[in-house]
Amino acid sequence: MNVYLSLERNALQTANALFIHRSTLFYRLERIQKLTRLNLDDAKVRLVLLLSFAMLKK
């Protein structure tokens, strides 16, 4: 998820960075959204996630 958001939701670049097929990426993102009930189309949700990932790195 962090890679996907860091690459500004570019599916092709994300799939290449993770060494997976694009359809696999879409399946995983859909599964994550179902399990977490997060809407990745919402800019506020994406911002909170990016900030959370940044805080975890420190």
Could you tell me the pTM of the whole model? Answer: 0.89
**Domain limits for position 36:** 2-57
4 and 14 Cβ atoms separated by less than 8 Å: yes
Question: What pLDDT, on the 0 to 100 scale, is given for residue 58?
Answer: 83
Residue type at position 11: A
Instruction: Please say if the pLDDT value at position 50 is more than 90.
Output: yes
Query: pLDDT tens digit string along 9-20?
Result: 999 999 999 999
Number of domains in the chain: 1
